């Protein structure tokens, strides 16, 4: 399941491959878009989940930088995650 949950309303999915998704959306009625991720499976709940309900894992709002595009390049040997 990659659609919206009760707290995170998906605006759009920016990455979805191999059962892993990254989405932009709105957390619990906030006005600013946030990034979140989750693993999902057809007909299953995926991960994370709480009390049998699918959840999205939120990325930190302002202090995180992830080079997603270059990390998909097979010539890249690492993914950079930077905390400010």
Alpha-carbon distance 50 to 71, whole Å?
29
Q: How is residue 80 written in tokens? A: 């950079």
Tell me if 26 is assigned to some domain: yes
Q: How many domains does the chain have?
A: 1
Tell me if 76 is assigned to some domain: no
The conformation of residue 72, written as its DSSP 8-state character, comes to T
Q: What is the pLDDT of residues 15-68, one digit of tens each?
A: 888 888 888 889 988 898 888 899 988 777 888 778 888 888 888 777 666 666
Alpha-carbon distance 3 to 68, whole Å?
21
Tell me if 44 is assigned to some domain: yes
Backbone phi and psi for residue 40, each to the nearest 5 degrees, phi listed first:
-140, 165
Question: What is the SS3 assignment for 49?
Answer: strand
Tell me if 65 is assigned to some domain: no
Q: What is the pLDDT of residue 61?
A: 74
More confidently predicted of 5 and 18: 18
Tell me if 79 is assigned to some domain: no
Please state the pTM of the whole predicted model. 0.69
State the residue range of the domain holding 17.
Answer: 8-59
Tell me if 73 is assigned to some domain: no
Question: What is the SS3 assignment for 6?
Answer: coil
């Amino acid at each position: 399941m990659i659609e919206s949950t009760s707290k995170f309303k998906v605006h759009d999915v920016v990455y979805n491959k191999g059962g892993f998704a990254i989405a932009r959306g709105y957390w619990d009625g906030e006005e600013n878009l946030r990034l979140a991720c989750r693993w999902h499976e057809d007909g299953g709940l995926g991960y994370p989940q709480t009390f049998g309900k699918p959840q999205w894992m939120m990325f930190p709002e302002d202090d995180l930088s992830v080079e997603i595009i270059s990390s998909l390049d097979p010539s890249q040997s690492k993914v950079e995650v930077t905390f400010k």
